[in-house]
Amino acid sequence: MSERPSSLGEFIRRQRELSAMSMREFARLVGISNPYLSQIERGLRAPSEHVLNAIADALELSADALYEHAGIAEDDQEPGTPAVVDAIRQDQRLSARQRQALIQVYEAFVATGPRPARSRGRSRQ
């Protein structure tokens, strides 16, 4: 396991404790099981984007802060990243959640490849 999920889990645990919520109460509020929350806090599992957003809402934090702790930040650019992905990551007008969603849509379109051109055999009248 990398260090990120563990530090993210520790951050979530500290924030939950600062909010004076029990693990059971917090798990119920987030909509996940108590064991799953425990695994996240101990760094054994990385939360999905949906769960991360629910945790941010429950802690009344910005999702951006949790995304940064999860390692989903613009600083994580890999060599050879397409320019469009770099542009999305650098656009500070977007939230981290919006940037990640746009990147996922872009990558999905790229993965399907180009669509064949439509036939223009019939003319409009």
Q: Tell me the three-class secondary structure of 64-100, residue by residue.
A: HHHHHHHCCCHHHCCCCCCHHHHHHHHCCCCCHHHHH
Which residue's entry shows tokens 């064991």?
A: 35
For the chain, the domains span 3-72, 75-112
Residues in the chain: 125
pTM greater than the 0.75 cutoff:
no
The one-letter code for the residue type at 85 is V
Which residue's entry shows tokens 């223009």?
A: 120
Higher pLDDT, 22 or 75: 22
Nearest to 106 by CA among 125, 123, 89: 89
pLDDT in tens, 65-100: 777 766 665 444 455 678 888 788 778 788 777 888
Contact 29, 15 (CB under 8 A): no
Domain 3-72: CATH superfamily, name plus number: lambda repressor-like DNA-binding domains (1.10.260.40)
